[in-house]
Amino acid sequence: MTKPLRKVVFPVAGLGTRFLPATKVVAKEMLPVLDRPLIQYAVDEAVDAGADTLIFVTNRYKHAIADYFDKAYELEAKLAEKRKDELLALVQTVLPKHVRCVFVTQPEALGLGHAVLMAKPVVGNDEPFGVILPDDLIWNEGPGALRQMAKVAHDEDAGVIAVEEVPHEDTDKYGIVATDEAKGRSARIHHMVEKPKPADAPSNLAVVGRYVLPGRIFQLLEETTPGAGGEIQLTDAIDRLLKGDGKVLAHRFEGTRFDCGSKVGLVKATIHFALKDPKLAAAVHEAVAAGRA
Ligand code: UTP
C-alpha cells in the first residue's frame, strides 16, 4: 500500500506582480476560478494525496489565506438561522476535520527555495513531503497529480517532480530536465537546467508546480546561494541532490495543467470549469462564441 504523503507545503509568499493591481490587497492564491479560490483546488489535491498537515509559507499580506481556512462563526450562525443548509455545508467543508493548517512566514521574498526552507521546522528531516504551487492548477478526473506522484515516490523510493511537455520554443520559460529513458510515465533525472534557450535545452520536459522531496533537501537549501534572478532557487538544491547521488524522477502526470499565475491561464481554467458545470455550460458556451464573433 502507498504511504500517504502526510505533509504538504504551499509556498504562497510571492509578490504576484502579474496580477497587479488586484494583488496589492488580494493574495494571488485567493483569486477565484468560478466560486473557489485557487488555494482550495491546491488543498483538495493535497488532501487527496493523504495530507493531514498543510504548511502555508506566507507573508504579511496573505492573512486572507488563514482567514479562509478558519471557522467563520458569524457567517455560519446566519446561514444556520436562515436554513441555508447547502451553503452552510459549503463553508464548513473547505477543510476536512482531520486536517490541520500551520502558517509560517517568509520575511522577505528571497525565492522559492528559500520559501520551502521556511517549512523545515514543521516538516523535519525524516520523511518525504509534498510541495504544491497553487497557481499551477492541475485537474484530473481520477487521482490528483500529487497522489500519482506520491505513489511513484513510494514505489521507487525517490523524489518526484511533475513535468509536462512544452513547445520547444518555450523552454526558456521553464526549468527543463534531462532524463534517462522513460519507464511508463516516469524517468530518472540526471540534471536540470533553469530556463535554457531552445537550442541548448536537453529536452522539452518542463518542471511544473508539484514536487515530492526527501527531508534532506532542507540541508541542501541551507547551503544554496542565490542563483538565477538573485533568488534562492529550489532547482539549484535539487540539482545538488542529483549530483550527490540522490534519485529523483520526472513524472508526466495524468491531468490538465492551467498556469493560473498568468492571466490567460486563469481565464482558460475558468472557462474549463464553467463548461463542466451543467448550470453554466450553455450560457458560457454562447458567451465565448459571441466573444469570438
Ligand atoms: P512566481 O515565480 O510565480 O512569482 O512564484 P509570484 O511572485 O508568485 O508571481 P509573479 O511572477 O510576480 O506574478 C512561484 C511560486 O513560488 C512562491 C510564489 O508564491 C508562487 O507560489 N514564492 C516565490 C514564494 O513563496 N516566495 C518567494 O520568495 C518566491
When pLDDT is cut at 50, 70 and 90, the band that residue 4 belongs to is confident
Q: What is the DSSP letter of 91?
A: H
**Best of 133, 231, 235 for a ligand 1 pocket test (most atoms within 8 Å of beta carbon):** 133
Report pLDDT for 267: 96
Residue 46 CB–ligand 1 contact under 6 Å: no
**Mean pLDDT value of segment 73-94:** 93
Where in the chain does DSSP place strands (E)? 7-11, 32-33, 36-37, 53-58, 100-105, 129-132, 136-139, 159-165, 175-179, 186-194, 205-213, 248-252, 256-259
Cell reading at 48? 487527496
When pLDDT is cut at 50, 70 and 90, the band that residue 168 belongs to is very high
Cross-strand bridge partners of residue 189:
179
Residue 119 CB–ligand 1 contact under 6 Å: no
CATH assignment of 7-261, given 3.90.550.10, 1.10.40.50, 3.10.20.70, 3.30.2130.10? Answer: 3.90.550.10
Residue 109 CB–ligand 1 contact under 6 Å: yes
pLDDT digits 0-9 by tens, 202-230: 999 999 999 999 999 999 999 998 887 88
Report pLDDT for 146: 98
Global model pTM greater than 0.85: yes
pLDDT digits 0-9 by tens, 174-210: 999 999 998 899 999 999 988 889 999 999 999 999 9
Residue 12 CB–ligand 1 contact under 6 Å: yes
Residue 23 CB–ligand 1 contact under 6 Å: no
Which amino acid would we find at residue 263? K
Ligand 1: nearest atom to the Cα of 111? 28
Report pLDDT for 194: 82
Residue 125 CA to ligand 1 center (angstroms) comes to: 24
Residue 265 CB–ligand 1 contact under 6 Å: no
**Mean pLDDT value of segment 79-97:** 92
% pLDDT > 90, the chain? 80
